[in-house]
Structures are given as structure tokens and as C-alpha cells.
Amino acid sequence: MHLEWWSVLPFAAMLASIAVLPLVPATSHWWERRSSQLLVALGLGLPVAAWMWVAGGWQVVFASVVEYAQFIALLLSLFVVSGGIFLKGDIRATPRNNAIFLAVGGLIASFVGTTGAAMLLIRPLLATNRERRYRVHTVLYTIFIVANCGGLLTPLGDPPLFLGFLRGVPFTWTFSLLPEYLFVNGMLLISYYALDSYYYAREPAAAVAADETDIEPLGLKGAFNFAFFAVIVAAVAFVPSVDVEAVESGHATLMSWIPLREILMLSAAAASFLLGDRETRFVDNQFTWAPIAEVAALFIGIFLTMIPALHYLDEVAGQLPLNEVTFFVFTGGLSSMLDNAPTYATFFEMAGQVAHPGGATVAGVPEAYLVPISLGAVLCGAITYIGNGPNFMVKSVADADGVDMPSFGGYMLRSFQHLVPVITAMVLLFLAPGAWWRVLGVVVVVALLARDVRLLTRSRRLHLADPQE
């Protein structure tokens, strides 16, 4: 099946709808309705699916539908279980406390998944900062660190790495990415602390006073839901799902069709929902189905319209200049737009077919290529709202809490301001060949740290000019 460049236009239209329709006054209120989002997603996605079914066979569409179902089942399960856990209390929303929140989230994300960690921490983080005027940057860095970059260390952390695990990458291999994990998350935490210090110094005195007087020790409600988290994690790691290859090849048994993994995950979510304390879920966490409904509606369109986009990418792969850096650039750039899990799978398969650069191989893929593919898929999923499933969920929770989150384009501008320079420095220091590239990486790091120092200096001057304590 040969595809022309115009086959990616439906996917481009899907992205344009997400980016533009919320901003146009004539369509903004219409787009807020879930039915409208689903109408656009299916209106673009179903014709593409029908066309690909006729042109390439039912197997092409079947694989994407199964992948979408697995994707939503995992997000839904983690979303429901995390909604039954509430970190009660209200500590001071200082830059230090907020940075600790994000650091803890970035640590646990690799072990309970970026979705689980983000949904677990976003509500208490918003509650802690409720008295503050400036909260958008805190939500943005939650997406950067907790919903994406913190999931780099295990296959449980982020869906792309889980796909690698299913393809034979050893479970512990991702621990070799620890230096990059520490560098990116460390730089982001430093950047966040400096930025939050600056905004904290600009907070109205009344907001700071309200935050300091409304103090309640931290405590945990619904802790038994961590058992359901454990069930979901175990299901992801050890329980099989639909065997797509067996079904497509015509060698499927009855067990090949049964999504055991998803059944177990959804059963854990249902038990959490039915057995958990309703006050914790609906009063403390203000739980609603809106965030996961928005993700499900938008991503059905994304998954269907990106079928020809991924196939077109397969066709032109041989013409691409592929090496350690370009594998990162292509995987990362497309992960930010195509959703990082299928993009990882595409480049994983591609890397096993290109010229071998020498050195060790992992699951049939040169390790020199697997490292940038893994880094690009996980880290660059944070560049846009659609790069990774939890991004939109965090945005929706923040919107519901009254945070004026940026639009699709506005978020990209913020990510290019705060996230992309850190990722660029990581590429120069860890992936680019040659000492001169590493020197340039050091220059970028120094420039970023100098920016952070300037923000800290300005925050200090604001405190001295208008002390709030």
C-alpha cells in the first residue's frame, strides 16, 4: 500500500481543530461540549479508518483500534483509582514545598506510571496553591515532570517504554537512562523553583496571608486504593492482552482475543469506585468524569487519523538521515504530535532495520539507537498537550479547578520556553558526538542556570521592596 503526502491531512486537520477551535469566539463554547469534540474526532477519524480498511486491509485498522482501547483502559483505570486517594491537609504553598511535590511526583511516576502519579498529585497540589494567584506555571511543570519526564526509569512509567518491554527490551534496561533522567528532571526542578520564587514574591499580601493561616497537617485518605494501584501495575507488567499479531496472521486462539490485562485493570478500577469512600472521591477530590471523557473523545480521532501518517512515515523512513541525534529528533518531534507510544513503536521497528552502528543490541535494536528513541518518546511527549495521555487530563483537572490554562498553541510556547532548552542541553551533553557539542551543551546549561539566578535575584528584591512577612 503506497500513500501520498496528502494522506496526513486528516491528522493535520485533527490537530488544527484542537489548536484553533477553542480560540475562535464563534466556536469556543461549542467546542467545550464533549459531544462536539467527539463529533469532530469521529467525523475526521471514521472516513480515514474506512479508507485504510479498503486500501490496506482490516488489519491496519484493527491494530490501531486495539491500541486505542488498551491506551484508554490504562488511563481510565489509573484515573479512577487515583480519584479515590486524597492527600488531605493544606501546607504553605511555598516554592520549596511545591518543588518537593514535583520531585516526589517525578520519582513515583516511573513506578506507578505518569498517569497515576499525575492524577494522584495534581489535586492536592492545586488545593495547596488554591490561595495563590499565580498557579499556571505549577500545572505546566506538573505536566513536564510528573506526567512525562519522571516516567523514564521503568517500562511501567510511560506507555512507549512499556511497548519496548513487550518487544523484548529487558525490564531493567531503562535504569541505564538514570543519568539523563537526573539531568532533565533536576534542571526542570531548579527552573521551577526559581520561577515559583519569582511568582511567589509577586503574590498579593492577602493571598500569602491566607495561605499561611489556612494550615492543616498532611494526611492520607483512601490509602487502601494503593492495593488497586498494585493490581494495575502488576497487570501491565505481567498479564497478556489481545494478541494482535496472532489475530492478524489468522493463527489466533480463543485466548488471543481476550483482553485479560484490560479486564483486570478495569475490574480494579470498578472495585475502587464501588468500595471506596464517596466523600473522599466526590467531595475531597471533586471527582468528575470530564477529564477522561475529553481524552477519550479527542484521542479516538487522533489514533484513527494518524494511521496513514504512521504508514507514510514507514515509507519515507529509508530516505531519512538516521543516527543517534536524528533518531531523537524524529522520535521526539513526532511524539509531541502523534502520541508518543505508536511513534516509539514505529522508530523501534525502523531502528532494527537500518545499518548497524556497532556496539551492543537490545531486543534486536542497536542500543545506540534505542537510547535516543526512548528519550525522545518520553521526554518530548511533554511538548504539546497531545504528546502523552496525562497531559490533557492534568489540563482538564486544572481547568475545572479554575486555573486559566493556556491554549494548545500557548502551551507549546511555554514548553519551548521552559522545557525544550533543557532537552536540547541533554541532547548536546549525552547524545551528540564530539567534544564541541558537549561544550555547547555546557553553554546552554550555564545560560539556563543564569536565567534561574536572575529570577531568584528579582524575587529577593521584590521581597525586600515589599516584605510579606
- Convert the pLDDT of each residue in 340-367 to its tens digit: 877 888 788 788 877 777 788 998 899 9
Q: Which residue has cell 527552573?
A: 191
From the CA atom positions of the chain, what is the Rg in Å? 22
Most confident of 3-17, 158-172, 278-292, 413-427: 413-427
- pLDDT of residue 299 exceeding 50, the answer is yes
Assess contact for 174 and 155: CB atoms under 8 A.
Answer: yes
**Domain spans, the chain:** 9-465
- pLDDT of residue 235 exceeding 60, the answer is yes
- pLDDT of residue 338 exceeding 60, the answer is yes
Q: Which of 190-194, 275-279, 310-314, 325-329 has the lowest mean pLDDT?
A: 310-314
For residue 437, the model assigns a pLDDT of: 94
CA dihedral (289, 291, 292, 298) positive or negative? positive
Average pLDDT over residues 256-267: 94
Q: Could you give the C-alpha distances from 319 to 99, 262, 312, 314, 334, in angstroms and in order? A: 44, 38, 12, 10, 16
Average pLDDT over residues 127-151: 95
Largest Cα–Cα separation, the chain: 74
Report the predicted TM-score, pTM, of the whole model to 2 decimal places: 0.84
> Which pLDDT band holds residue 467 (cuts at 50, 70, 90)?
low
- pLDDT mean across residues, the chain: 89
- pLDDT of residue 319 exceeding 80, the answer is no
Per-residue pLDDT tens digits for 408-432: 899 999 999 999 999 999 999 999 9
- pLDDT of residue 469 exceeding 50, the answer is no
- pLDDT of residue 247 exceeding 80, the answer is yes
